[in-house]
Amino acid sequence: MTRQAAPKRYHHGDLRNALIKAGTRLLRDHGVAGLTLRTVAKRAGVSHTAPYRHFPDKVSLLAAIATVGFEQLSAALTEVVVTHADDPAKQFIEAGIAYVLLAVRNPETAHLMFGGGSLDLKDADQTLELAGKRAFEDLVRIVENGLRAGIYRDGDAEKLALVAWAHAHGLATLIIAGRIKDAASSEQQVIELTRYVCQTQLSGMLNNTSVN
């Protein structure tokens, strides 16, 4: 909606957002290796030193991009909770699917969000760290819903959420890394595989024995 009427030139404008947008596109199309500060600047129509007026570092721009990713994740999780407000088990499974789908659709951004390695963006950027914690809290809330409904065996919501996160995250990472190409080529296959994984996971946490 707001994109169509964009000005064709900003000799000055909200460059900061333009840089984030250009960086995100560059990341998606050419990978993190193709995301250079100089080309980002060129795409935004400014000189290659202009970004330093808005980001102290290249890392800071990357952190801003990853922050957007976490915000999208939070939004997706919140929507899952709202859609299945009366079914905490379904919330759990659909949250996993939403997580994996988001990662599979934006592999480069996901890589940035959980990079690990020495690319510890989050150590350098508080905003990013906060956004990540917020997304985790959304997941904790889903588990708490299940605890309130009494469907889980254990009682530590944070710990259970951690397990669940590890599960979805691991699956997403393996798919992104292309290590499950046989079983996860189409998006429909990804959804079904994730559902299977989350259900197995849920079986280990459930109070009752019967599982379908």
Partner DNA sequence: ACCTGAACACCGTTCAAGT
Q: Which is nearer to a second copy, 55 or 165 (CB)?
A: 165
**For residue 57, what are its two tokens?**
């570092």
Q: Which is nearer to DNA, 42 or 195 (CB)?
A: 42
Phi, psi dihedral angles at 206 (to 5 degrees): -70, 155
Q: Could you give the CA distance from residue 149 to residue 86 in angstroms, rounded to a whole number?
A: 10
Cβ(174)–Cβ(77) under 8 Å? no
Q: Which is nearer to a second copy, 64 or 113 (CB)?
A: 113
User: Hey, which residues between 46 and 75 contact DNA (CB under 7 A)?
Assistant: 46-50, 52-54, 56-59
Cβ(26)–Cβ(35) under 8 Å? yes
Q: Could you give the CA distance from residue 65 to residue 62 in angstroms, rounded to a whole number?
A: 5
Provide the mask over 46-85, with x wherever binding to a second copy is found by CB under 8 A and - wherever it is not: ----------------------------------------
Cβ(26)–Cβ(39) under 8 Å? yes
Contacts of 97 (CB under 8 A, 6+ apart): 191, 194, 195, 198
Q: Which does 176 bind (CB under 5 to 8 A by kind): a second copy, DNA, none?
A: a second copy
Q: Which does 148 bind (CB under 5 to 8 A by kind): a second copy, DNA, none?
A: none
Provide the mask over 166-205, with x wherever binding to a second copy is found by CB under 8 A and - wherever it is not: xxxxxx-xx-xxxxx--x---------x--xx--xxxxxx
Provide the mask over 123-162, with x wherever binding to a second copy is found by CB under 8 A and - wherever it is not: x--------x---x-----------------x----x--x
Cβ(63)–Cβ(19) under 8 Å? no
